[in-house]
Chain A
Amino acid sequence: MFELSPFYQELLTSLNRGLLMSIALIIPSAIGGVLIGIIAGSLRTFGDPVVKAIGDTYAAIFRGTPLVIQLFILYFGLPNIGIYLSPYVAAVVGFTLCSGAYQSEYVRGALLSIKSGQYLGAQALGFTTLQVIFWIIVPQAVRRAIHGCGNEIIYLIKYSSLAFIVTCVELTGEGKTIATEYFRFTEVFTILGLYYLGLVSLAMVILKKIEQRLYVPGFGHN
């Protein structure tokens, strides 16, 4: 019977625990990011100049600074003004805000790519504004945005590895602990890399399935 050495047993137990933590970070952040992206993206497209400016500034700031700085500000910086976030909350808030900024970019691009004729065509048939949005704009925007938004979630999976820096011990954090303890960096980080490859590849397959499902001629991404 094939038996793992104690080192590998401990490594896999830790990594599996870390994997759960990573997933617990990724899922709410991905959902929150998409929601913020939809709201911010819509406001940046259709809002009045002031709202637009606020949305654009939000996106520019979070896209223009490293995520790790954003996390440090949330976790180490905010206590300076009396706001204390737990490592997990700081990580999720940071991931959500950063991801939302990128998502808003894809949502905005998708909304802008819808031709004005689509509104006209629907209005001419007697659609109400709400019906135009629900039956024409949303289905088209989703198809235009899905590739970018999906890829952003894949980025998020990778960047969830930064949570350990604010002491939220997920996959990378668990791996680093074991590697340092046993001084076996190459093995640990190779296996850790495989975990991420698995997560990312799984997300890619799901994304591709969804894209195929939603595919309509004339809406493919290049």
Chain B
Amino acid sequence: MMTETDQILRVTDISKSFGGNTILNAVSVKLAKGEIKVLIGPSGGGKSTLLQCINCLVVPDAGAIELENETIDFRRKQDLYRLRQQVGMIFQDFNLFDHLTALDNITIALRRVKKMDKNQARQRARLELDQVGLGDKEALYPAQLSGGQKQRLAIARALAMDPKILLLDEPTSALDPTLIGEVIAVIKGLAVKGMTMIMATHQISLIYNLADEILFMENGRIVEQGPPAALLAAGNTSRSQGFCDRLNELAEVDG
């Protein structure tokens, strides 16, 4: 059993609606250091909004977020900025800064947000680029990178901020099937190093191999949760099992 002190992030009963549509309905998530949770479920189920709420890119209407036992005051901008610095986010469509080189995509936040000096920032950025295998691409602009390279750069950019948690919003969904492997390899590498992560994904290999716990979301709620071994056990009739079976079928058709 995990104790209260192990918990790095506590999300309690957060809700969000847009124009009368309830997208999140009192969702709670607890995350321990080094833990990996995977969000699955039909699109429109609220996975993306949940992730964006966790680092307050979308500010929840109700509920509480605690990072390392500190409650975030949603009305205080400084709180939001600090939270976002400590919680990294990987987007489906990368959101790299199109006017900056690969290197500067990483250094800009180090310099402007973390106030590092130029050389320090560059050193750190080069380290991260090497880590994701882009050491020779530092002078290229996003428009000159492949999808897989863009996503790896986005991961390097987030990691350079030394996030306590990394949120990944379908990191491989916008990629050409042949480029997915390189991104999965980087994510698996993060898991090995003990990165704490919440990830929305449809990649079976990530779900099976990385998840400590699966959260199945539908209609703005977590309707099922548990370790993959339990939820996806043979003969199980869980929603997650059915969902993963369908993903498997699709994967076979694709293959």
Q: Decide whether A and B assemble into one complex.
A: yes
Contact with B along A194-222 (1 / 0, CB 8 A): 00000000000000000000001111000
Contact partner, A126, options B84, B93, B141, Cβ 8 Å = B84
* CB-nearest residue of chain B to A138: B99
Find chain B residues with CB under 8 A from A127 CB. Answer: 81, 109, 112-113
B32 within 8 A of A: no
Cβ-defined partner of A139 (8 Å) among B89, B91, B99, B109:
B99
A-B pairs with lowest CB-CB distance, top 10: A218-B143, A121-B95, A126-B85, A124-B89, A117-B95, A125-B109, A217-B143, A126-B84, A217-B141, A126-B113
Could you tell me the distance between the alpha carbons of A125 and B96 in the complex, rounded to whole angstroms? 11
- Choose from B99, B109, B158 the contact partner of A143 (Cβ within 8 Å): B99
Q: Is the CB of A125 within 8 A of B161?
A: yes
CA distance A136 to B113 in the complex (A): 13
Residues of A near B141 (CB, < 8 A) are 216-218
Instruction: Check: B228 CB closer than 8 A to any chain A CB.
Output: no
12 sample A-B contacts, Cβ–Cβ < 8 Å, listed by A number: A120-B95, A124-B57, A124-B91, A124-B158, A125-B157, A127-B113, A128-B81, A140-B98, A216-B99, A218-B141, A218-B142, A219-B143
* Residues 109-120 of chain B, each 1 if its beta carbon lies under 8 Å from chain A, else 0: 100110000000
Query: Does any Cβ of A come within 8 Å of B88's Cβ?
Result: yes
Chain A residues within CB distance 8 Å of chain B: 117-118, 120-129, 131, 135-136, 139-140, 143, 216-219
> What are the residues of chain A within 8 A of B55 when measuring CB–CB?
124
Contact indicator A216/B85 (Cβ below 8 Å): no
Interface size for B (C-beta < 8 A) is: 29
Q: Return B53 CB to nearest CB of chain A, in Å.
A: 13
Name which of B91, B99, B141, B142 has the most chain A CB atoms within 10 A of its CB: B99
- Provide the residues of chain B in CB contact with A126, threshold 8 Å: 81-82, 84-85, 109, 113, 161
CB-based contact B91/A123 at 8 Å: no
Contact A218 B113 (CB under 8 A): no
Contact of B57 among A118, A120, A143 (CB under 8 A): A120
Which residues of the partner chain B approach A135 to less than 8 Å between Cβ atoms? 108, 112
Interface SS of chain A: helix, strand, loop or mixed? helix
Does B77 sit within 8 A of A, measured CB to CB? Answer: yes
Q: Are the C-beta atoms of B142 and A131 separated by less than 8 Å? A: no
Q: How far is the CA of A118 from the CA of B105 in the complex (A)?
A: 11
> Taking the nearest CB of chain B, how far is it from the CB of A118, in angstroms?
7
Contact A123 B57 (CB under 8 A): yes
Q: Which residue of A lies closest to B52 (CB)?
A: A120
Smallest distance from the beta carbon of A174 to chain B beta carbons, Å?
44
- Chain B residues within an 8 Å CB radius of A121: 91, 94-97, 154
Q: How many whole Å from B50's CB to the nearest CB in chain A?
A: 15
Contacts of B22 in A (CB 8 A): none
- From A124, A128, A217, name the one whose CB has the most chain B CB atoms within 10 angstroms: A124
The yes or no answer to B144 lying at the interface (CB within 8 A) is: yes
Chain B residues near A125 (CB, 8 Å)?
A: 84-85, 109, 113, 157-158, 161
Bound-complex Cα distance A139 to B141 (A):
14
Q: Please give me the residue from chain B that is nearest to A116 by CB atom.
A: B95
CB-based contact B95/A118 at 8 Å: yes
State how many angstroms separate the Cβ of A146 from the closest Cβ of chain B: 12
- Residue of B with least CB distance to A132: B112
A122 CA to B55 CA, complexed, in Å:
12
Expressed in whole angstroms, the Cα–Cα distance for A129 and B113 within the complex equals 12
Q: Are B81 and A218 in contact (CB under 8 A)?
A: no
A135 and B109 CA atoms in complex are apart in Å by 10
Besides the contacts A127-B113, A217-B141, what 11 more A-B pairs have beta carbons closer than 8 Å? A117-B95, A118-B95, A118-B98, A120-B95, A126-B84, A126-B161, A128-B77, A135-B112, A139-B99, A218-B141, A218-B144
Contacts of A136 in B (CB 8 A): 97, 99
Tell me the bound Cα distance from A120 to B91 in angstroms.
9
Cβ–Cβ < 8 Å partners of A131 in chain B = 112-113
Nearest CB to that of A128 among chain B residues?
B81
Closest Cβ of chain A: how far from B142's Cβ, in Å? 7
